[in-house]
Amino acid sequence: MGKECILNGSCVMGIEFGSTRIKAVLIDPDHQVIASGSHEWENDYDNGIWTYSEQAILSGLQACYNDLKKNVRDLFGIPLKKLASAGISAMMHGYLPFDKHMKLLVPFRTWRNTITGPASEKLTGLFSFNMPQRWSLSHLYQAVLNGEPHVADIRYLTTLAGWVHFLLTGKKVLGVGDASGMMPVDSATCDFNAVMVEKFDALVADKGFPWKLRQILPEVLSAGENAGTLTPEGALLLDPEGDLEPGCILCPPEGDAGTGMTATNSVRERTGNVSAGTSIFSMIVLEKPMANVYPEIDIVTTPVGKQVGMVHCNSCTSDINAWVSLFREFADLMGYETSAGDVYTRLFRKAMEGEKDCGGIVSFNYFAGEPVTGLTEGRPMLIRTPDARMNIANFMRAQIYASMETLKAGMEIMNQEHVAIDHVYGHGGLFKTEGVAQNLLAAAIHAPVTVMETAGEGGAWGIALLAEYAVRSSEGESLEDYLDRKVFAGMKQMTVEPDPDDEAGFDRYMESFMRCIPAQKAAVEGLKA
C-alpha cells in the first residue's frame, strides 16, 4: 500500500514546527504513517528575545523534508515526487510582522517571550477577554506602546505556520485554530472578532498608522477548506533537488493546539485532551462560552472554530526526570546497573501504593513561572511536615501529583463554571506506564481519561489528517464525524473513571499545595537564578 500510494501520488504529508523538533510524516489513504522525517533545532536568546532565525526556519524546513524523502527512498527504493495534499503546523502565537515586500521587520518573537505584560493587561480590559502575553496582538500592541518604528511599516502579521504556508502557496491565510491564538475569534463567523478589531483600531487611532488591523491579518479558514496549492517556487523550497511536483492542495495552516486536538480525536463538544511532557496543558471543547473572564484560562478554538478552554502550565515532567536521574546515580554508586525505562516504570507503579494525599509531602515542580498560580519564576521545591511519612511510594505520588497540580488548579475553575466533560484523552510521556498518571489525572480533573494506542506522530500526524480531510471534505462529512468514523474507529483505547478515594486524596493534597504557594514565592526571592 505504501509504495503504491507514493507512485500514484495519493499520499498526504504533514509538517509541524515544534519548539525543539521539526517533524514530517507521510500517511496513506488509510491514515497510517508510512514514512517520516525530522530535524532537531533550538531557539536562540538574542537581545532579550527568544527567537528562531529566518535561516533556521528555512533550512530546518528543507532538512526535515529531505529526511522524509530519504526515509521514503530507504523504505521503498523510489523518490517522493507527488502528493495528494499537505499541511503545515507550528507552535502557536508569537510575532512575525512583514512589510509590503514580505520582508520580516523584526526577528520572530516566539510564544516563549513574556515581554508584553502592559499590552496584555490593557487588551484584556478593553476586550473583556483574556489576552495572554504570548498572543500575536499582545505583541503588536506592546510594540506600539514601546514606540517601535517598524510598526508603521507592517503590511502583514501572521504566525510561523502562516508564514511557511505563504512561502509554499503564496496565500495569506490561516486556520481558525491558529488564528484564535493571534487574537479572539468569533465562533459564529469563524473569523476574527469584528467588535474587538474595531476597538483595537480606535485604541491606536491617534498613532496615525497607514493600516487598519483587519488589513494586516490573514484570511481565516476552517478545516476542510482549500487553502491554496503548492507553487513551483514552494515545491523547490521544500525540495531543492527538484523531484517534488507542484500542484497539490494545502489545508489551512494550523497551530499545535489544533493538531493536538485532531490527533487525539478531541474536537467534539464536551471532549478534550491533556498533553503531558516537558509542559502540560488541557484543551476542553466548550458547549457554551464561559460566564466570566479568567486569566488562568485561554479561549482558543478547534480547527472548525468551536470554543476551547485551555489551561497551559510551563512545567510537567522535568522535576520527575531530575529525581529519576538522582536515583539512577545512587544505584550506580551502589554498583547496580539500571535502565531509564525500568526505573520510571517501577517508581511510577510504586506511587500507586502511596497514601492518597501523599502523607504530608508537597512538591513544586516549578522549573519556570506559572501564571495559573501567579508566579513569574519558579524554583523546584520539596516540602514536608516533620511527621510526614517519607517513603518512596508517598514521595513518587507527590512527584506525579506535582506534574499536574497546577493544571488541576486551572481545571477547578472550569469545574466551578460547570463545564461539561464527557471524557479527556491523555497523551505524552507521562502516560507511558499503564494505570498510573492516567488514573491520577482522572482524579485531578474529575472526569474519565482515555489513552489511545495510535500509530500517529503527534502534531505532524494531526496536520496530515487535516490535509487528508481537505481532500475528502467535499463528501460533506463534518470533521468530528470524519475523525470518529474514518480515522479512530476500531482504534484500541483504554478509559479509566476517576476513583472517589483518589479524588478526595488529591483534593486534600491541593489544599496543602495552595497554602504553600507563598513559600514558593519566597524561594524565588531568596534563591536567585
Provide the pLDDT confidence category of residue 139 given band limits of 50, 70 and 90.
very high
- With a cut of 60, say whether residue 455 has pLDDT above it: no
Average pLDDT score over the chain: 94
pLDDT tens for residues 396-442? 999 999 999 999 999 999 988 999 999 899 988 899 899 999 999 99
Cell matching residue 242: 527538484
More confident residue, 145 or 452: 145
Task: Report the pLDDT averaged over residues 189-203.
Answer: 98
Residue 219: the pLDDT is 98
- With a cut of 80, say whether residue 1 has pLDDT above it: no
Contact status, residue 165 vs residue 153, Cβ threshold 8 Å: no
| HSE (side-chain half, CA atoms, 13 Å) at 308 | 31
Domain 2-252 has CATH 3.40.50.970: no
Residue 529: the pLDDT is 65
What does DSSP say about strands 173-175 and 219-221: parallel, antiparallel, or unpaired? parallel
| Comma-separated ranges of CATH 3.30.420.40 domains in the chain | 2-252, 265-314+411-496
Give domain 265-314+411-496's CATH superfamily.
ATPase, nucleotide binding domain (3.30.420.40)
pTM: 0.89
| Residue in 311, 308, 307, 310 with CA at minimum distance from that of residue 186 | 307
pLDDT tens for residues 55-70? 999 999 999 999 999 9
Q: Which run of H or of E encompasses 57?
A: helix 54-76
DSSP state of 414: H
Alpha helices in 239-370 (DSSP H): 256-263, 318-333, 340-351
Task: Report the pLDDT averaged over residues 247-252.
Answer: 98
- String of DSSP letters for 151-181: GGG--EEE-HHHHHHHHHH---EEEHHHHTT
pLDDT tens for residues 313-353? 988 999 999 999 999 999 999 999 999 999 999 999 999 99
| Category of 228 on φ-ψ map: left (φ > 0), alpha (ψ -120 to 50) or beta | left
Residue 454: the pLDDT is 61
CA distance linking residue 108 with residue 92, whole number of Å: 12
| Percent of the chain whose pLDDT exceeds 90 | 84
pLDDT tens for residues 349-370? 999 999 999 999 999 999 888 9
Residue 456: the pLDDT is 47
Residue 196: the pLDDT is 98
Q: Which run of H or of E encompasses 505?
A: helix 500-515
Provide the pLDDT confidence category of residue 468 given band limits of 50, 70 and 90.
very high
Bridge partners (DSSP) listed for residue 250: 86
Contact status, residue 27 vs residue 11, Cβ threshold 8 Å: yes
CA–CA distance from 492 to each of 346, 352, 363, 441, 483 (Å)? 25, 24, 34, 20, 15
- With a cut of 90, say whether residue 33 has pLDDT above it: yes
Neighbours of 322 (CB within 10 A): 13
pLDDT tens for residues 71-100? 999 999 999 999 999 999 999 999 999 999
Contact status, residue 473 vs residue 224, Cβ threshold 8 Å: yes
CA distance linking residue 412 with residue 446, whole number of Å: 9
Which span out of 171-180, 286-295, 519-528 was modeled with the highest average pLDDT? 171-180
Cell matching residue 456: 500517529
- With a cut of 70, say whether residue 249 has pLDDT above it: yes
What does DSSP say about strands 298-301 and 307-313: parallel, antiparallel, or unpaired? antiparallel
Q: Identify how many contiguous H helices and E strands the chain contains and give both numbers.
A: 18, 23
